[in-house]
Amino acid sequence: MTPQQVLLVQQSFEKLAAMGAPAWERFYSELFMIEPSLKRMFKGDMHEQRKKLLAALALAIRALNAPAKSLDPLKALAVKHVGYGVKAHHYTYMGNALLRTIERGLGKDFTPELRNAWVAAFQTLATIMMEAAYGQNPSGTKRRRLTVPTEAGRAVAEMWIIPT
């Protein structure tokens, strides 16, 4: 990621966080629409879950240009996720749900440049988490086209790195 991309992600996240709950309340519906089988993995209160996710994302996004050690809690979180039954390819779904949430929240301010910056940020963070949890080497990943249903019933293809 370039320093400019890090800045773009951090600034837009501030904006989204300031929008509060309404900007985030559809996050998990987006995720379950992309992959309905994930729903049964979540046992707790989804309102609380969203708050935890947001707090973890805030930490991760701050860590993008902080000393490497700041990523330690994120790595520990990724290891904990293995116990929740999370697999490496689930990060792809999470990334897409995140992009949709941001797009919905920012509307026309979600420019292609900003989208690219968020894709780079999520790939950076997900790679760190996947490496911590599954010991995967990023070079062992490949690009694949993923087609997912949308609310309007259209199929949207988004490029992600999915572990082989």
Main-chain dihedrals φ then ψ at residue 83, nearest 5 degrees: -65, -25
The C-alpha atoms of residue 79 and residue 130 are separated, in whole angstroms, by: 9
Report the nearest approach of ligand HEM to the CB of residue 110 (Å). 19
The reply to whether 100 sits near ligand HEM by the rule CB under 6 A is: no
Selected binder of ligand HEM within 1, 7, 17, 53 (CB under 6 A): 53
The reply to whether 88 sits near ligand HEM by the rule CB under 6 A is: no
The reply to whether 91 sits near ligand HEM by the rule CB under 6 A is: yes
The C-alpha atoms of residue 20 and residue 16 are separated, in whole angstroms, by: 7
The reply to whether 51 sits near ligand HEM by the rule CB under 6 A is: no
The reply to whether 84 sits near ligand HEM by the rule CB under 6 A is: yes
DSSP 47-112: HHHHHHHHHHHHHHHHHTTS-GGGGHHHHHHHHHHHHTT--TTHHHHHHHHHHHHHHHHHGGG--H
The reply to whether 43 sits near ligand HEM by the rule CB under 6 A is: yes
Contact footprint for ligand HEM (CB under 6 A): 38, 41-44, 49, 52-53, 56-57, 60, 77, 80-81, 84, 86, 90-91, 94, 125, 129
